[in-house]
């Protein structure tokens, strides 16, 4: 009897140990994710404040993405600089207001539909309600590329401005959020054309595939097509857990962050999925000690260089963009707090 009792105890212990280990691993992973976020937030705040200080104009990489990161962070219980958050929102709104007459005239501002739609996205995240400024901007977006099937990017600056899917995503989102009642018939017509273009598109890059998926999310595309898009992105994951911008390139934080956000936002893949866990671990492993991720710029510069306080010199703008998407990906694996 004593021998049977001992055997039962051993079997019980053997069954118990893996359960404890899995729980411990989950706690450890969560701690790693939270620590990575806490390291990155101050740098992103510094870069956004530095950009607002150095330039009157709105930027996608330093205002829109900073607001995205900070909004997601505070929803999950992280402490952010609320005054800096409001500074970025005010900076964005003031930029649009300075261009109000040009928007009404259908001319827009520098950066074209990219600037206009990213700025409206920033205001959306801040809870801005439609007004005369947002109506003028959506009016401009409806006039832009009116004879095309979709919205064309204003310039080619890979990777974040290397595909019209990115531009079309943010324009569609802006129109859905801020379009006025009188604009609805035209909005419906334009989005219907863009929807077909997106369905017909054969993505040539990770950027195109990620933002095609995000457009499908906006447009409530059939679940079968949606799932196929998710599966194609999952196939592109590299052995190191990350994603690369193009097949012949190495994994980086920009491609990995944007893909993980697209997958997690699809609600067809959850944070416990093996590919997500590997991608998150890739981001944790490649984060620098200062909390940033470095990505080398491949875009030809055309604006005057300035410092924001983010590292990497002339690579800082794509690096802060990559760091922002990476941080959002990490945040989306955590639950929101009440």
What are the boundaries of each domain within the chain?
Answer: 33-331
pLDDT value at position 304?
Answer: 76
Q: Is the pLDDT of residue 11 over 60?
A: no
Across residues 75-88, what is the average pLDDT? Answer: 98
Angle at 280 between CA 51 and CA 171, to 5 degrees: 50
* Residues 313, 246, 214: CA angle, nearest 5 degrees: 90
- Residue-wise pLDDT for 122-153, tens only, equals 999 999 999 999 999 999 999 999 999 999 98
Question: Is the pLDDT at 23 greater than 70, yes or no?
Answer: no
Average pLDDT of the residues in 148-169: 81
Report d(CA 198, CA 211) in Å as an integer.
10
Q: What is the pLDDT of residue 21?
A: 57
Distance of CA 253 to the CA centre of its chain: 12
DSSP category for residue 301 = P
**Residue 252, beta-bridge partner list:** 243
Q: Mean pLDDT across the stretch 23-48?
A: 91
Which tens digit of pLDDT belongs to each residue from 210-224?
Answer: 999 999 999 989 999
Q: What mean pLDDT is reported for the chain?
A: 91
- Of 173, 195, 275, 166, nearest to 230 by C-alpha is 275
The CATH fold of domain 33-331: Glycosyltransferase (1.50.10)
């Amino acid at each position: 009897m004593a021998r049977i009792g001992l055997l039962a105890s051993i079997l019980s212990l053997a069954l118990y140990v893996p359960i404890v280990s899995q729980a411990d691993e989950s706690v450890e992973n969560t701690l790693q994710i939270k620590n990575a976020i806490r390291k990155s937030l101050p740098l992103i705040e510094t870069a956004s404040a530095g950009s607002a200080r150095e330039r009157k104009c709105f930027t996608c990489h330093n205002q829109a993405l900073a607001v995205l990161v900070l909004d997601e962070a505070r929803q999950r219980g992280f402490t952010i600089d609320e005054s800096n958050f409001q500074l970025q929102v005010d900076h964005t709104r003031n930029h649009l207001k300075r261009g109000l007459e040009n928007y009404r005239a259908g001319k827009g501002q520098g950066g074209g539909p990219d600037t206009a739609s990213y700025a409206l996205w920033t205001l959306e995240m801040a809870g801005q309600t439609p007004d005369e400024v947002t109506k003028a901007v959506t009016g401009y977006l409806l006039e832009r590329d009116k004879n095309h099937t979709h919205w064309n990017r204003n310039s080619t600056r890979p990777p974040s401005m290397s595909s019209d899917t990115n531009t079309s995503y943010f324009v569609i989102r802006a129109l859905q959020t801020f379009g006025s009642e009188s604009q609805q018939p035209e909005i419906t017509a334009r989005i219907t054309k863009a929807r077909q273009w997106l369905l017909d598109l054969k993505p040539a890059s990770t950027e195109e595939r990620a933002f095609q998926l995000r457009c499908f999310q906006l447009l409530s595309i059939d679940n079968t097509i949606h799932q196929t898009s998710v599966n194609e992105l999952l196939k592109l994951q590299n052995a190191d857990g990350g994603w690369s911008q193009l097949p012949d390139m190495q994994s980086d934080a920009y491609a990995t962050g944007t893909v993980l956000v697209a997958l997690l936002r699809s609600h067809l893949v959850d944070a416990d999925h093996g590919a997500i866990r590997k991608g998150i671990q890739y981001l944790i492993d490649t984060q620098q000690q200062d909390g940033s991720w470095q990505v080398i710029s491949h875009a030809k510069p055309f604006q005057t260089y300035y410092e924001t306080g983010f590292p990497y010199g002339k690579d800082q703008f794509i690096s802060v963009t990559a760091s922002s998407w990476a941080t959002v990906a990490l945040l989306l694996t955590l639950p929101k707090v009440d």
